[in-house]
Structure 1
């Protein structure tokens, strides 16, 4: 309305200038002289206030964001956003106009999140998050979700609101920069397995003799199965592979390059298969196979899979609901570690990678080589122009480095008995 009125004011000013020009004999625009000879009775006209429009609702915004065809959603990412959506909808309301959401409301939402117990939906299936928070606060519960979980929810909500700003559906993000302090340092959230834990894991019946590779993996017996459950932990410990990187390996991903047997970590597959995913662009790499894995007969296992006509190296590991094969294996591994007596609050399968990184440090492996072997991206701001030059390290150089990875005081001699 202001813009429309400005046009009338500008025309009025031009009219006044034309009147002044005509009085001193200058050339004038007769149309501009006539434009306001009979001004409309603006003062008597009713003033119509513009209708207040709050625009899109929070629920519709989430739907638009999730359906945006320009975004490439992985199953895990989509699930994370859907989980956040359910919480945000329950706290702020799906029908709430996005433009009406204030920073104060976002802070109130954080307070509700701070008092959410772990597994709240299972503990209180009939209560809303606000009601759950009130009950948890009154009861002084301590089994609450951690700061990292809360910040993940805020990050995901921020992604939606930032998208709304870019799409001109919102003027600003009211949750911009909001997060809760995390008392646990990032490096302390997950720890490497101790030597004692590793010894317990690799001395379990699965590795020393079990009833079978099915439900009897934790029961002592005569069988020494060498399938996914046997190899995947070893691949992570001696190769630094992420769990899903190991689970999704194709048989064709084990290749001999420049005379060295290697893992080819890639999303590409032969044929029409598109079931592999990597965490980051730096995850795609070549990893020479550690001498210990070769000595344990890993290449014989690969040959068996080839002869069997298998496409997947670990075909018995099925696809999980999230679209990752690691989902099903991770659930089994948690049970396995518990039965082996090796579980602790800050260790999980990813602890193998933490241990691999420490082993690279202990072996005095050059940092650039360590980052390449583990598929770790260089820290923010640490890359230089020189990183874009050259073709990288020779496979033999990487092979020499990875073979120096060792775990002192860990006895794996019994694994060679069944190779």
Structure 2
């Protein structure tokens, strides 16, 4: 390679950066790991060449691009500095290391080709659901994981999960190109497993009135309300539209009064609390029905036993927070078919597009039909709204009153609920204290 031509190209801007593993000058001088990244580097290198008396072009051996594993390490390290939540980091780590790296091998990243991208896409379409939780798949490489899943006829990840992993791969290769490790077009830029219409169809669905009647059947609720989060979790979701982890991670201090209005403050003030986005930090008035059912009495019971969190028994996961326990319990007891021989009653709702998150859709849809106030509904439910977050946390008593009036428009006259009895979970709390 003509080093002088290379420097001229850098002068014109047609080449911005370059790296040489080994460079041999005409006088025999050997220079290794040359890395020209900016104008200052180029000037210093020109000075160096002049000092060596090089009057002819040295021999350059261009280095291979960085190994895929090293790029993944750099990417994840950079993203750990507050750019991504633990859950998103875990998603990236999973698809980049468990699938991409395992299938393609640890080769220089720039050597990856379209056949590698095809292999990864096919793997995603054959990847088993909950692979990390299945003992039969533990310690298996990617190929064996898919083979074992096919042999056992295990359920596969859904189209939305597949699309999410493809988004993670696109983001990684965009970063790799910006960082100078990848020189080609993004191999996953146009890869999709669903059409735009299909992606829209995959959205979760709200519960219908008949679904809610089944879920809040008094007999079923009595059977499934042995823990406080089982009693209050679905009720808070039904009358607030909050996300499952937002409910599960609440502290007693998040239940406050603004003027005469009792509210829930959804915040991330504690290290074990996190929110989906900035708009999720908000104040939601307690629906009058929750107060009628004895929610404030329950809060006093928790205080009396000295627990700081509203649901002190829920286990914490660095990846998913506290929400897994509520979501897994609810989906298993209300929305999934019973195992053969099971005598535990179920609600009989088996639509896979209905989950605990469907409560959120119920609240949003009903409030919109009643009020048509999109901005106010966004402030209550924590959707992006393009306004200053502080105005939604530090609200005035009059603003709290307006939100309360909107919340109380929610009504489910076809449902009946059991009241909380003060001290109802005293035995539960005592056992928890002993643990």
Q: So what's the TM-score if we normalise by structure 2?
A: 0.72
For the Cα contact (< 8 Å) 1:56–1:97, is it kept in 2?
yes
Kept in 1, the 8 Å contact 2:174–2:186? The answer is no
- CA apart distance, 1:127: 6.8
- The answer for the alignment partner of 1:66 in structure 2 is 76
Of 366, 370, 375, the match for 2:382: 375
- Does the CA-based 8 Å contact 1:264-1:287 persist in structure 2? yes
Single out whichever of 71-80 and 274-283 deviates more from structure 2.
71-80
Other-structure match for 2:402: 397
Superposed, 1:5-404 pairs within 5 Å as 5=5, 50-68=60-78, 70-84=81-95, 85-93=97-105, 95-118=106-129, 129-130=142-143, 144-183=156-195, 184-186=198-200, 188-203=202-217, 205=219, 207-208=221-222, 210=223, 217=224, 227-268=228-269, 273-320=270-317, 322-337=319-334, 338=336, 339-344=345-350, 345-378=352-385, 387=387, 391=391, 394-404=399-409
CA shift for structure 1 position 167 = 2.4
Maintained 8 Å contact 2:233/2:326? no
Q: Is the 8 A contact 1:158 1:173 kept in 2?
A: no
Structure 1 residues 191-200 or 296-305, which shifts more? Answer: 191-200
Partner of 1:4: 4
Deviation at 1:400, TM superposition (A): 0.5
Residue 405 of structure 1, CA deviation = 1.0
Decide whether the 8 Å contact of 2:244 with 2:323 is kept in 1.
yes
Counterpart CA distance in 1 for 2:145 and 2:221 is 45
The CA deviation string for residues 325-355 of structure 1, in whole angstroms up to 9 with x for no partner, is 0022222222221442243222111111011
**Bigger CA radius of gyration:** 1
| Separation in structure 2 between the aligned mates of residue 126 and residue 376 of structure 1, nearest angstrom | 40
Label 1:258 to 1:173 Cα distance change in 2 as closer, same or farther (>3 A).
Answer: farther
Distance 1:278 1:54, change over 3 A: same
Which range is displaced more, 168-177 or 286-295?
Answer: 168-177
Query: In structure 1, how many angstroms separate the alpha carbons of the residues matched to 2:377 and 2:215?
Result: 25
**Contact kept in structure 1, 2:117 and 2:188, CA below 8 Å:** no
Cα distance in 1, alignment partners of residues 85 and 213 from structure 2: 36
Residue 181 of structure 1 and its aligned partner are, at CA, apart by 4.2
Conservation of the 8 A alpha-carbon contact between 2:264 and 2:284: yes
Measure how far apart 1:238 and its partner are: 0.2
- 1:235 CA displacement: 0.5
Point out the more displaced range, 281-290 or 334-343.
334-343
| Cα deviations by residue, 1:209-243 (Å, 9 ceiling, x for unpaired) | x4xxxxxx4xxxxxx75722101111111011111
Figure out how many residues of one structure are paired with residues of the other and give that number: 356
For structure 1, which runs of at least 5 residues remain unmatched after alignment?
9-39, 211-216, 218-223
1:407 aligns with 2:419: no
Alpha-carbon contact 2:263-2:283 (below 8 Å) kept: yes
TM-align CA RMSD: 3.4
Contact 1:256–1:262 (CA under 8 A) maintained in structure 2:
yes
Give unmatched runs, 5+ long, in structure 2. Answer: 9-53, 337-344, 423-435
Q: Secondary structure at the match of 1:406?
A: coil
3-state SS of paired residue (2:176): helix
Write the deviation string for residues 117-159 of structure 1: whole angstroms up to 9, x where unpaired: 546685766875457768999x9x8954333222222221222
Q: Distance in 1 between matches of 2:255 and 2:193?
A: 44
Tell me the distance in 2 between the aligned counterparts of 1:206 and 1:261.
29
Q: Determine the C-alpha separation between the residues in 2 that align with 1:389 and 1:284.
A: 7
Tell me the alpha carbon deviations over residues 241-275 of structure 1, each in whole angstroms, 9 at most, x when there is no partner: 1111111111011000021000011111xxxx411
Moved more, 100-109 or 153-162: 100-109
- The alpha carbon displacement at 1:305 in A equals 1.7
Aligned partners of 1:147 and 1:180 also within 8 Å? no
Decide whether aligned partners of structure 1 residues 127 and 79 sit closer, same or farther in structure 2, where only a CA change above 3 A counts. closer
> Aligned in 2, Cα 1:312/1:206: closer, same or farther, shift over 3 Å?
farther
Partners of 2:333 and 2:346 within 8 A in 1: yes
Deviations 1:18-43 (A, max 9, x none): xxxxxxxxxxxxxxxxxxxxxx997x
TM-score normalised by the chain length of structure 1: 0.74
3-state SS in 2 of match to 1:262: strand
Judge conservation of contact 1:241–1:353 (CA < 8 Å) in 2. yes
Separation in 2 of the partners of 1:418 and 1:185?
45
Q: CA deviation at 1:79?
A: 1.6
